[in-house]
Chain A
Amino acid sequence: MSAAVSLPAPVDAAPRPSGVRPTRGATAARFVAVLLLAAVWVFPLYWMAVTAVSPADAVREGRVPLVPTSPTLDGVRTAFTEYSVGPWILSSFAIATVAVALSVVLSLLAGYVLAKQEFPGKALVSLFVVATLMIPAEVVLIPQFDLIARIGWVNSFWAVIVPRAAEAFGVFLTRQFLLTLPDEMLEAARLDGAGELRILWSVVLPLCRPLIAVLVVVTFMYRWNEFALPLVVLRDPDLYTLPVGLAFLQGQYATDYPALMSGALLSSLPVLLLFVLAQRSFVSGLARTGLK
């Protein structure tokens, strides 16, 4: 079973160095240094949260205290009532959920074939999938928009979901993961007359839980945070995703910081929560793929 897990070992499980043992004093000093750096690092996020619960006049006059003295939910209320943050969150959730489900399924299918099957043209297919990694989304934005307009998908969630349903990183992560799976298991199933989809479903899939966790959390983060594509194809403000809506608010109401930071906070909480719950999957997935 453990042979199936090719994802990098979780950092915490690594062997402790034995030789160069730091003294207790040195560790304490290091701890204090890290604590201070972490405080600085997290400050912008903290400040986002503080601003979200601060009264608008205090923010406007630049006298928000470092620790909130009179927290209020006015900013959050404005974000939902005056601006359409609610529908935007729903858009983002709908798009991210469908896109993640699709891309996990398609990555498993393609990754399984590339890892465990031999067929004519395999090298060429692999090369093609690799090549797509070299196409930055921002570079093809203009022709992509033209294409989507011709399909008639402007203002359709499909315009954001379908082009991202296949992810080269997901295909490769799956391939790498499955390469370590012993072929004997598959051969046994093949001898029993099982088809490839059957094998993928009942032999391979049950071993893929850590892989699927990584694919889900990393892909969710990408889709939830996605900006350029929804920006150009979703023109109707009611259909905006949360990042597009927030960018629009930033442009229109640049100084209504409590409402803006409430929106920013609402955008950050789901990914931060997912990140806390599945930190290992995040860390191994990001350390492995690197490209956002």
Chain B
Amino acid sequence: MSVTTAGDVASAGPPGKLVRPGRPGGRGRTASAYLMLAPVLVIFAVFLAYPLLGAFTTSLTDATGIGAARGVGLANYRDMLADPVFWRATGNTVLLTVVSVPLVLGSGLGLATLLLRNLPGRPVFRALFLAPYVISGVVVAMTGHWIFDENVGVVNRALRALGSDGVAWQSSSGAAMVSVLVMLVWARSGLAVIVYLAALQEVPQQLIEAATLDGAGRWQRLRYVVLPQLRPTTFFLAVIMVIETFRTFDVVYVMTKGGPQHATELLVTYSYAQGFAARAQGYGSAIGVTVFVVVLVGTVLWWRAQARTEADL
């Protein structure tokens, strides 16, 4: 497999000097490097890069998955722009993002702040807040479907006990969206809690002490000392959560199926419905490509934030 050539041994460098690992040179070493990389590279090429190309090319056809597909140019994209359900799904995705991401970050930071410093039982609490994040989206959706059941769900039972008539969580479009939003924020905030908790512990204590000596109160310290220190973390989390929200599939697919009347339809669920249920693969792919472009922009921002964060450290 891997060969250490005589040349490598000879150029091992003087002791004490930082030796660069495996210098270029030995053809055997290059071959061994690529052999070890091969499985990962082949899988990425075959099951990600090639299908991505496929998404672009399919989006230019009228493919149904049966028989030959004909090229239709940009017709799918034109249809998309004229499709009210596409716009509904886009609006819902954007709305969900704009509302859920600040809620996730806010509850994450709030809970992390409460957990900071010597709180008894902190590891237990941290685990409890993270628990909804580690269970499957399908389970989150099933649980949401059950607690928000219009007739016998626990939420409406509580509301009725308080004298209200309960809310039509499944049949009213606004309420359905709220129920999805609640479950998504519940499922995702745990990540923000642990990331913020780790970041908060990196905030230099001297800064906080200095601010305290200068007479800054709790809120002023948070506003003027802690939050600026957390900016890279906040940016990192925000981008991740925007991407996650644009990719939301299982929770909505299982909890509401995008209903009632597309009230909770998202771009990804609509792409699935078109591509698989309606067998309009070309059209479904066009919607998928649209999501890809948005996520691409988000990911580039994420990488730049990552690089900046690492440069700061």
Contact = CB atoms under 8 A, between A and B. Distances in A.
Interface of A: 8, 11-12, 14-20, 22, 27, 30-31, 33-34, 37-38, 41-42, 44-45, 47-48, 51, 59-62, 64, 106-107, 109-110, 112-114, 116-120, 122, 125, 128-147, 149, 162-163, 165-166, 168, 171, 183-184, 186-187, 190-191, 193-198, 200, 221, 224-225, 227-228, 232, 243-244, 246-247, 250-251, 254, 257, 260-261, 263-264, 267-268, 271-272, 275-276, 279, 282-283, 286-287, 290-292
Interface of B: 1-4, 8-9, 12, 18-24, 29-30, 32-34, 36-37, 39-41, 43-44, 46-55, 58, 65, 111, 114-115, 117-123, 125-139, 141-147, 149, 151-154, 157, 186, 191, 194-195, 197-198, 201, 205-206, 208-209, 212, 236-237, 240, 243-244, 246-247, 249-250, 253-254, 257, 268, 271-272, 275-276, 281, 284-285, 288-289, 291-292, 295-296, 299-300, 303
A8 B201 CA distance: 11
B300 to A, nearest CB: 8
A175 B262 CA distance: 44
Q: Is the interface of A mostly helix, strand, loop or mixed?
A: helix
A283 B130 contact: yes
Nearest to B26: A119
B125 to A, nearest CB: 5
Given A16-B118, A136-B243, A260-B142, A128 B111 contact: no
Q: Is the interface of B mostly helix, strand, loop or mixed?
A: helix
A113 B114 contact: no
Contacts of B292: 135-136, 139
Contact of A166 (B40, B55, B117, B237): B40
A232 B186 contact: no
Given A34-B119, A286-B194, A250 B276 contact: no
B127 A264 contact: no
Contacts of A166: 39-40, 43-44
